[in-house]
Amino acid sequence: MEELREMMRSLMQSQTAREKQQETRDKQEECRLRGMELREQDRQKQQKEEAKRIMERQLLEELERQRHRQAELTAQKARKEEEKSKRAAAEKLEKVNSSLQSHLQRSKEERERELISMKQQIATLMQLQRSRADPAQLERKNKIPKRKKGKLPSDFTPPLRKPCCTRGSRNTGLKTHGNENQTRV
């Protein structure tokens, strides 16, 4: 019996030893599983952080593209506004130029009309003066050769002067020799 007890004790000890080993194995397995879980959690956490960094980078890139597009649109709008203002300035300048040209044309036409009117008045005054003039004086005037461009005609001979005896009149009695039918200029 003692042997039996011994065997039992030994069996119990071996069973306890197996249980302890099993517990140790279970604890090791549990630690291993827990370690795997922790590694998996770390891996997932790293993946989330990496995904977050990727998203942030993509958002920054998108934001940069939008800023670039906005800058291009602003520059394009500024160019259009500048072109529009240039066209408006050119149109305004064209209107002013046209107005000045028409005013200048009117002024020129008015001066021409005034000149024609003055010439007509002068002609009328000359006709009136001729009609009032002494016929003998007109005849003498028509017989005097006319100068052309500051030169005397080649056949011009100076008139002869006769002294006049009368005190009040200044009749010089001019006579011309040469061409008597010269036209007036």
Q: pLDDT tens digits for 14-35? A: 888 888 889 898 889 888 899 9
The string of DSSP letters for 110-154 reads HHHHHHHHHHHHHHHHHHHHHHHS-HHHHHHHHHSPPPBTTB--T
pLDDT at 176 over 60: no
Position 180 scores a pLDDT of 45
Position 8 scores a pLDDT of 81
More confident residue, 104 or 77: 77
Share the mean pLDDT of the chain: 80
Position 132 scores a pLDDT of 74
Position 152 scores a pLDDT of 54
In contact, 162 and 169? CB cutoff 8 Å: no
- Take residue 98 and report the two structure tokens written for it: 């046209």
Whole-model pTM above 0.75? no
In contact, 174 and 159? CB cutoff 8 Å: yes
More confident residue, 83 or 165: 83
Q: pLDDT tens digits for 35-92? A: 999 999 999 999 999 999 999 999 999 999 999 999 999 999 999 999 999 999 999 9
Residue 5: pLDDT band (50, 70, 90) is confident
pLDDT at 151 over 60: no
- Take residue 81 and report the two structure tokens written for it: 């506004």
Residue of 105, 98, 176 lying closest to 141 (CA atoms) = 176
